[in-house]
Amino acid sequence: MFRGLFGRYRDRTLVGVALLLSTLLLTLDRSLQADLARGLGASLYAPVQAVARTTQDLLFLRRENRQLRRVVATLNLERQRLLQYRDEVAELRRVAGFAAERFPDLMPCEIVGRSTDHFQKTLQLACGVGDSLDANMPVAAYSGLVGRVRNVTRQRALVETLASPDMAVSVRDQRSAVVGILRWVRGNQFRLDRVDAVEDVLVGDPLVTSGLGGVYPRGIPVGVVTRVEVSLDGLFKQVEVRPHVDFAGLKDVFVVRRVVDWEEKILYPPEQARLLYQLQAHEGAALQEGGD
CB of 131 to another protein, least distance (A): 21
d(CA 184, CA 167): 7
Cβ proximity of 129 and 146 under 8 Å? no
Among the listed ranges 11-19, 203-211, 217-225, 235-243, the one in contact with another protein (CB under 8 A) is 11-19
Where are the alpha helices (H) located in the chain, listed in sequence order? 2-3, 10-26, 30-96, 264-267, 270-291
CB of 148 to another protein, least distance (A): 13
Our finding on whether 22 is near another protein (CB under 8 A) is yes
* 233 SS3 class: coil
Residue of 179, 132, 174, 176 lying closest to 152 (CA atoms): 132
For 25, phi then psi, to 5°, come to -65, -40
| Strands 206-209 and 189-193, sheet pairing | unpaired
Our finding on whether 227 is near another protein (CB under 8 A) is no
Among the listed ranges 63-71, 75-83, 135-143, 185-193, the one in contact with another protein (CB under 8 A) is 185-193
Stated as kind and residue range, the H or E segment containing 161 is strand 157-161
* 140 SS3 class: strand
CB of 90 to another protein, least distance (A): 42
Of 64 and 87, which CB lies nearer to another protein in the complex structure? 64
Among the listed ranges 95-103, 158-166, 215-223, 252-260, the one in contact with another protein (CB under 8 A) is 158-166
Of 36 and 281, which CB lies nearer to another protein in the complex structure? 36
By CB under 8 A, name the binding residues for another protein. 10-11, 14-15, 18-19, 21-26, 28, 30, 33-34, 36-38, 40-41, 44-45, 48-49, 51-52, 113-120, 122, 124, 158, 160, 164-166, 186-188, 248-249
